[in-house]
Amino acid sequence: MAKKTTLKNHTPADITSLVATKREELRSLRFSVAGSKNRNVKLARTLRKTIARGLTELNVRSADTK
């Protein structure tokens, strides 16, 4: 099992850039899958989960500061 990475040690700017990068990867994956077979069928799911984890961490931090 892969080592789980935590986002608690990252700055909000790092998390925002991570989310943006993963969204771009997911977008390109969706367009590339339309024309050909994908080797890793779980990649889209893991990208969506990573995006959700990043956004959740950002929302938790913004709720803590209020």
Q: What is the pLDDT of residues 31-50, one digit of tens each?
A: 876 667 667 778 889 999 99
Q: Is residue 29 part of a domain?
A: yes
Q: Is residue 7 part of a domain?
A: no
* Domain extent for 45: 13-33+40-65
Query: What are the pLDDT digits (tens) for 5-31?
Result: 788 889 999 999 999 999 999 998 888
Cα(19)–Cα(12) distance, integer angstroms: 10
Q: Is residue 53 part of a domain?
A: yes
Q: Which residue has the tokens 């779980």?
A: 42
Q: Is residue 19 part of a domain?
A: yes
Cα(47)–Cα(63) distance, integer angstroms: 24
Number of domains in the chain: 1
